[in-house]
Structure 1
Amino acid sequence: MDERGLHQLIGTIIDPERLEDDCAVIPCGDRLMVASTDMLHETTDFPIGMTGWQMGWMATAVTLSDVASMGAAPGEVLLAVGLDTPERLRGIMEGARDCCTRFGAELVGGDLDAHQELTIVSTGLGLVAPEHLVRRRGARPGDVIAVTGPLGEAEAALAGYDRHVKELLEPQPRVREGQALGRAGVSGMMDISDGLALSLHDLLAVNDCGFAVDTARLPLPAGVPEDEGRELALYGGGDFELLFTAPPDILPVPGVEAHVIGEVIPERTVLADGEPLERRGYLHEWKG
């Protein structure tokens, strides 16, 4: 059983449409509030050697990336930290604060307790005008499929390509790009922190169409052999780029680096170079 499978259980308890996007959407006056929560554990999410500052930065960036994927402007971030040793707190909080400052959010509070394993839970809030909200559902046949930057860089760092270590340890959520794409009228969007292939299957689950990508058009990690880079770009996690669909005539969007990698097709399938693309990427799994 993996985390996507458990969503089916959650969908029997709350409205399953609430589970379709990177954030919950809540009416807030004449705008919409988006809200996301992410949990990171040291043994599964923080590579060995990360500083406390980088852990705080990453925990915040994960949540701000979700807010960006909805086309929203970030507002507030709350951080709950389960500490194994209290000496680590300052670095974590300073990293979270600095990430908020860099991307226009504010760290406003959270919670503390004692854990055997360092655990950080980040909650992010953002606001967006209803006409600029972008959901995962909305792709239409004939739309192009695009991403905002190179894929596979974080995974390349884990594979020993040290030139990509900063992308792994200090990810940059595409906050400005998400808002620009929302204003431009893209039809669907999500972040791809769990890998491109898995993200395309996530889009398939909520749309009445399919997705066909041309792997020759993927923006690959620099300095990695092409075949290995293509594998990392398809299945590697931790990139925090945005994956979006859009009518071809709205591109390019000013100020947004966009790489067109395929097109939306009528058939409900995910294809790479004309063949079915394996549903594989970064997933939390339970054995047995």
Structure 2
Amino acid sequence: MDERGLHRLIGTIIDPERLEDDCAVIPCGDLLMVASTDMLHETTDFPAGMTDWQVGWMAVAVTLSDVASMGAAPGQVLLAVGLDRPERLQEIMVGARDCCVAAGAELVGGDLDAHRELTLVSTGLGTVAPEHLVRRRGARPGDVIAVTGPLGEAEAALVGYDHHRKELLEPQPRTKEGEILGRAGVSAMMDISDGLALSLYDLLAVNDCGFSVDTARLPLPAGVPEDEARELALYGGGDFELLFSAPPALLPVPGVEAHVIGEVIPEWVVLADGEPLDRRGYLHEWNG
């Protein structure tokens, strides 16, 4: 059983439409508030050699990336820390604060507890005008598919390409780009941290159309042999880019470096170079 299978179970308990996007959407006066929460554990989510400052940075980055995917302006972040050793706390909190500052958010509080394994839970809030909110649902046949930067860099670092360690350990949430794309009127958008292939299938699940990618157009990790780089770009997790669809005439969008990688098609299928794309990437799984 993987996490997406468990989402279907949760959808029998709460409105399944609330599970379709990277954030919950909550009315907030004339605006909408978006809210996301993420849990990270040391053994599964923090690569070996990571500093405590980088741990704090990553815990915030994962949540602000979700906020960005909705076209929202980042607002506040809360960080709960299940702490294994008290001497780690200061650098974790400084890293979390620094990520907030870099992304235009504010670290405003959280919770603290003792825990055998370092565990961080971040909650991010943002706001957006209703007309600029972007959901995963909304792609239309004829739209182009695009991403905001290179794919596969984090996974490249994990398999030994050390010149990509910074992209792995200090991911940059695309908050500025998310806001700009929302105001520009893109039709659908999501964060791509679980890998391109899985993200395309996530879009497929909530749209009545399909997605066709040309792998020759993928922005690949530098310094990696082309065939391996293409595999990493399709299936590697840990990239905090945005995946979006938009009418062709909308691009280029000033202020956003977008790479067109394919198009939205009428058939309900995910294709790469005309063939069905394997549904795999970064998934939490339970065995037994």
Tell whether the structures are fold-level matches, with TM greater than 0.5.
yes
Which of the five TM-score ranges fits, normalised by the shorter chain?
over 0.9
Taking the aligned partners of 2:24 and 2:223, their CA distance within structure 1 comes to: 38
Measure how far apart 1:269 and its partner are: 0.3
**Quick check: 1:244 aligned with 2:230?**
no
Query: What is the TM-score when the length of structure 2 is the normalising length?
Result: 1.00
Task: Please state whether the residue corresponding to 1:74 is helix, strand or coil.
Answer: strand
Alignment of 1:180-195 (within 5 A): 180-195=180-195
2:159 corresponds in structure 1 to: 159
SS at structure 1 position matched to 2:253: coil
Task: Tell me which residue corresponds to 2:148.
Answer: 148
Q: Which residue matches 1:176?
A: 176
Deviations 1:168-218 (A, max 9, x none): 000000000000000000000001000000000000000000000000000
- Residue aligning to 2:266: 266
SS in 2 for 1:208: coil
How many Å separate the matches in 2 of 1:222 and 1:194?
Answer: 20
Offset from partner CA, 1:15-51 (integer Å, 9 cap, x none): 0000000000000000000000000000000001111
Secondary structure class of the residue paired with 2:74: strand
Show the counterpart of 2:92: 92
Match runs of 1:129-140 below 5 Å: 129-140=129-140
Match in the other structure for 2:116: 116
The alignment partner of 2:123 has SS state of strand
Poorly superposed stretches of 4+, deviation over 3 Å = none
- Aligned match of 1:204: 204
Amino acid of the structure 2 residue aligned with 1:227: D
Given residue 164 of structure 1, which amino acid in structure 2 is its aligned partner?
H
Task: Report SS of the residue matched to 2:138.
Answer: coil
2:117 & 2:30 partners in 1: Cα distance? 42
Matched length: 288
* 1:101 match: 101
Q: Which runs of 5 or more residues in structure 1 are unaligned?
A: none
> Take 1:135 and 1:80, find their aligned partners in 2: how far apart are those partners?
27
Aligned mates of 2:258, 2:186 — CA distance in 1: 12
1:4-43 paired onto structure 2 within 5 Å = 4-43=4-43
- Identity %, equivalent residues: 88
Name the CA distance, whole Å, in 1 between partners of 2:176 and 2:49. 30
Q: Distance between the aligned counterparts of 2:182 and 2:255, measured in 1? A: 13
Q: Cα offset for 1:278?
A: 0.6
Which whole-Å CA distance do the structure 2 matches of 1:259 and 1:126 have between them? 26
Task: Give distance in 1, aligned partners of 2:267 and 2:125.
Answer: 35
Partner Cα separation in structure 2 for residue 273 and residue 233 of structure 1? 14
Give the C-alpha shift of residue 165 in structure 1: 0.4
TM-score (norm 1): 1.00
Q: Matches of 1:99 and 1:167 in 2, distance apart? A: 14
2:81 aligns with 81
Rounded to whole Å, the distance in 2 between the matches of 1:2 and 1:252 is: 37
TM-fit CA distance, 1:159: 0.9
Q: Distance in 1 between matches of 2:103 and 2:8?
A: 33
* Partner Cα distance (1:163, 1:256) in 2: 24
